[in-house]
Amino acid sequence: MCSGDDERLARLTQAIDDLAAESLAGPPPADLLERVAGLWALVEGLDPEIAKSRSRYSAPEG
C-alpha cells in the first residue's frame, strides 16, 4: 500500500471512529445519512471497484 492509501485509510478510520462516537448523541437521521455517504466516498477512494458494485445496492429513487 502506498502512502496515499495509508493516508486515505487513516482518514477513513478516523471518520468511522468520529461517526461512532457522535452517533451516541442521537443525531438526526439526515445527518447520519450524510456522514455514511462520506464514509462510502472514502472507501471508494481506496478501492474504485467498490463504486462499480455499490450501485447494485442503492435503492431506486422514487
Residues 11 and 34 sit within 8 Å (Cβ to Cβ): no
pLDDT higher at 58 or 24: 24
Provide DSSP, 8-22: HHHHHHHHHHHHHHH
pLDDT value of position 8: 87
Q: Three cell numbers at 19?
A: 461517526
Q: What is the pLDDT of residues 4-31, one digit of tens each?
A: 888 988 999 999 999 989 888 888 988 8
pLDDT value of position 58: 60
- Residue 52 three-state SS: helix
